[in-house]
Structure 1
Amino acid sequence: LPDLATPQGLKFKTITETTAEVQWEPFSFPFDGWEISFIPKNNEGGVIAQLPSTVTTFNQTGLKPGEEYTVTVVALKEQARSPPTSNSVSTLIDGPTQILVRDVSDTVAFVEWSPPRAKVDAILLKYGLADGEGGRTTFRLQPPLSQYSLQALRPGARYHLTVSALRGASESRPAFAQFTTEIDAPKNLRVGLRTPASLELAWDNSEAEAHSYRVVYSTLAGEHYHEVLVPRDTGPTTRATLADLVPGTEYGIGISAVMDSQQSVPATMNARTELDSPRDLLVTASTETSISLAWTKATGPIDHYRITFTPASGMASEVTVSQDESQLTLSELEPGTEYTISIVAERGRQQSLEATVDAFTGVRPISQLHFSQLTSSSVNVTWSDPSPPADHLILTYSPRDEEQAQQVTLDGTCRHTSLTGLQPSTEYLVSLVAVHGTISSEPVVGSITTGIDAPKDLRVGNVTQESMMVYWSAPIAAFDHYRISYRAAEGRTDSMAIPRDDTQYTLQDLQPATKYEIGVKSVRGREESELASITAYTAMDVPLGVTATNITPTEALLQWNPPLLEVESYVLILTCRAVAGETILVDGDNQEYQLTNLLPSTTYTVSMYATSGPLTSQTISTNLYTLLDPPTNLTASEVTRRSALLSWVPPMGEIENYVMTYRSTDGSRKELIVDAEDTWIRLEGLSETTEYTVHLQAAQNAMRSGLISTTFTTGGRVFANPQDCTQHLMNGDTLSGVYTISINGDLGQRVPVYCDMTTDGGGWIVFQRRQNGLTDFFRKWADYRVGFGNLEDEFWLGLDNIHKITSQGRYELRIDMRDGQEAAYAYYDKFSIGDSRSLYKLRIGDYNGTSGDSLTYHQGRPFSTKDRDNDVAVTNCAMSYKGAWWYKNCHRTNLNGKYGESRHSQGINWYHWKGHEFSIPFVEMKMRPYNHRNISGRKRRSLQL
């Protein structure tokens, strides 16, 4: 037909592995529809679809990946077909799928995948560390390969892996996988020092960054394993010592690396502890031909003891003794001979360390006393061993001319002692006796003469840069004169004789700030006492010109000129309010120091001296006064249309007051003086939708701190004439209190109400409150119609007002009740009362809350007072129960009852919370629009946007 032209503009919008989206131009004349076909290049199969005439795009699914298709579009009208328009398209090749990583070890991982459906030239496998370190490794694999083993991986590392297909220049979308290699075990386990009770282990650290190693060990026959966690050492090697082991025992040891929740397979080894040695080898007796021995047995398992005894002639002999023995007598020995005796424990080829003792056959008396290290007040005395060993020794000493001697009892094994507290320049007689049982040996006697004593209490004073005075106390022994010597650390030694009656001497012509070694000794003829010595330094010069600059409330910069001598360090001492505070060390190369963390508006005294080694200079001082610090964190909050709360953190220093100024964008400016104790102020009477800039500074006398500032913008009204507390809240009035509402927005129906802006999101109109009994609620119908009481205290809003308010829309009701710290509430999702013609009939919805539902009993009831009985009871409920309510027969709740009355049903009752015999001390009844949560939520979201 002539009106069926060839479709035009055939093109492809999106192409995937299995889909192709086609688009063509529409016809401007009526026809029946389109026929579109997708025929593969090999003419095997194909897809044909017929489409409405209004469709000019089509997305064909279910195609084969990597296949070339001829796409033809034909227009249809009745039995006629337009000339076709065709184009070719190839779907994308698909990639491998279902990638799986398995059999992961510390250095190897095996990868599997499902091959692509399309014919591809190659499979690209890429992997590398997940953090990107070291780059990525790529393998080009030949189809139909669908698995590969990754080698030489890093232990304990996370890897990122992709597998994709490649045909020509086209690459498929990759399949992804991640895996973590296991951590490797430590290597080269070895044993260092062995003892009978411990093994020192060492190993090469794992390549993985293990944070610790778990060491498990047990005897080879043991059923119980011991475990210790050892932190990884820095460097290539970690060491650990296993203690409290059994001597001479072989242990099996396994060491695993631990990293987070991973643990490597263990590296294992066996190691044996050393045999325990016998201890305390003693000679208990000796004769001309025998020596008796005793020892403490080894603690571990052994086969026997081996005892070796060698005489001075050098021919050693051995004997073995059962492991159960702890003593032995060696017989048939050479008389009068010294023997060296040793004992070891043996187990198989293993041998312990030896214990050794020297012994002598026959009797060997102490032959001579030896004296050494003789001073004016002490001497060391030594002697040879007696044989057999003595039970104890008695040493006696006294000056030669004195009959009374001092006596010391010593252990029989003792071979030396020191005598102290001797008199100087005195001859002493010393004797030693060995005691065997009840027999004492002949005394061995010696004599010594103590030397003259040295001067005492050597000290220096009056130290200047060029001189110092040396003082001392005279010695006890007679002497001829003193000799004093002194030398600088690297100078010559000067000395001179001092008369014996002098006990002080002034050293002069010294070098400043120099260390001197000073000695004084007593001299008698050719005999000299020990040297009394002391080290002292001449004085060093003082730093100059210390000043404080760049002073702020908490910091100041100290600067000074250094002394001539090289300084090791400066010592600064801060004194505040007569109390010495922090001491600061400053490197000697510096000539300034930044003081920090000072107290604002405070006077400090800074004392300073220089040191060089043990030297200290004189102290110099300066005073500084820190500035007044400003308040901080000035913040504007609770910003409404006409007010804002400004708060701040006070300064640390003492102040008299604050000076606050605030300026609006119209140029008006006000200044306020705020008490020092205050940390907040509410600015009232502000202009709506106006930006204000507030500055605050502290003041003390004539001093003022730096300024801090903040900016805020007051809000505007959302509702010009709010008709309930919810609209007041959305206007930005967030404080609970008395507000005026306009019924239905009519300024002619303005009603003052109390708004609760905090309870459960706020926006509540409180229409009744009981809290102290100061207001009489046993009133007539007329009072309850118009309302009574004080909105700030106890009140009833009035039935007419409640009816008008609840007629504005759907309202919800909440009743809050409290008894001390105990509280409960009742919530009803609908609330209204009728007009005066319906006697203000009550309508409420479903209950929720914590008090129990006591109000549903009154559903649909008219209001009753003592002069208008509208209940269904025989009696007048309002008159009987001293209240006014929506009574039925008569009540489950009586919230307008008599305050504090506990008689049955007479007080303020809520049956399901406190029953009929308890008058609730606090009650508030309140209402708000039912959709308040949704409205306030949208309002908050819009403010956030």
Structure 2
Amino acid sequence: MGSDGSSSGVVREPLDYVGVTNRTSSGFSLIWDSPEEKYKNFVVTSKDVGKDEALKPKSTNKDSEDDSEKEFDNKEEEAKYEQTNKSESENPRSKDENRVPESVSTPDPQNKSGTGSKPVTGSITSFKKVLPGSSRFFQFEDLPPQTEYTVTLLGKGPGLLSRLHKLVISTGPEPPKDLVFSEVTENSLTVSWTKPKSPISGFKVTYTSIKDGEPVSVSIDRGDSTLGLSQLSPGSSYEVSVVSILGLDESDPITDFFMTLPDPPTDLRAVNVTDTKALLLWRPALAAVDKYAIVYGSGTDSELRVTVSANAAEQQLSGLQGSTTYTVTISSQLGSNESSEASTSFTTTSGSGGDGDGFGDLQSKDVTPRTARLSWKPPTKPAGSYRLTYQTEGQEVKEVVVDGSVTELNLSRLHPSSRYTVQLQAESGGRNTAPLSTHFTTDCSQELLNGILKSGEVDIFPQGRSGPPVMVYCDMETDGGGWTVFQRRKDGSVDFFRGWKEYIKGFGSLSGEFWLGLDNLYNLTSMTKMTLRVDLRDQDEATFAKYSTFELVKRNYKLIVGGYSGTA
């Protein structure tokens, strides 16, 4: 009849399908298919290969679909099952039919037809389970990793016995454990774990931003158990998972979450310094933070702490002492996390009656990527000369001495996108006043703050002083000015239906229609916290949309906006 048989005439038809799914480090699911109601029961047995001395060595046939899952025809075992089936039919109370190890659960009476039964858990040396004929899968759980099992499946019915299906199945690699995060900063951290005792070929670390949802995977050698993650977003939550690799197999993952520290405010400086007051200015952090903490004082014993709103970008200090140098730090706070500190220092004027009476208000104006203009208020008592020093990180201090009649000084040949510290002292009669100090940054985004009110094209350096310059158009008229225009469409003179590479690079002319480019836009938004404004005009009608949050994610240049206001 085209099916296997035996001397007793029992039919030996194979089941329609037998396979393994959901194989993990600690278990697997045995699945099969067969016509409904053909078999009264299915018998599943399992034995640890390491405990099965009679088992033949595994086949090394390269044509096998999966070395961890193999099926054999074993006539001797079929004959044994036939004899077992015969004896059980003669003795329906045979104890073997329901003999199950204590760790094995009995069939779940709530299972739907064709679903399966409760899983087998724990270390299995030898096991047998009789399932109802409606079962189509059987789950093994909580098994040791990297362990091979011989699993057999047989269908039984009145006068009917299926072919014995026999597979050798191995659980997946042993997973690592004890995931630990250390050295967490605003954009980096170190991940470490404990290596498994079983042999493996390596590890794979995957980290995913909760906000962006883009997973990044890194494969490392089996000898390593730490990995540094960098280029992360400040104040952001990430999910990290680590798996062991053995050949093409992966273990179950170990997973945990972490949050990077928020980034600190930048470009902290003191302006309008008098003998009793100073105004602090800063650029807000890129991350969405809860508040800022300001600490200032002239010594560790006199430090004061002020907490201000996350929406603030300035803070007035009062009650200061004259002719005193103050150090100020500011940090961002997000929940229990606090950023690193930005710092600056300034010296108050001497106050009434001092040699430097009235001397102060050192300011930077008209700052461009390579120039800046400094101005100050002269002391009441005429100065013989002024000594001015300025420096940026990594460069030598430069000194300029000017006549006492001068109250302004132009600096040139500055480094683009650099933060400069300036100190000024007045000299009179061989005595020097306490120094005044200020800071400025050679960045186009500061043009409006520096007093430039005319719109036009400006060279900026979004990648720092070592990067190439980028020409942009600064709008100093719309909504108070200070806007960097990255797209303009007005007359249809430029074709915007272009490929991805051109949108990354940019196209058009700043004097007409143009697109600045995704690369440039990413570099600009990664420098500091940005606001987006979209203006739409049609003859005499105009509308706009404004977003307080605007940034690009480097991967695929994903756009993130939030905090809408406007009329659009």
The two structures have a TM-score, normalised by structure 2, of 0.40
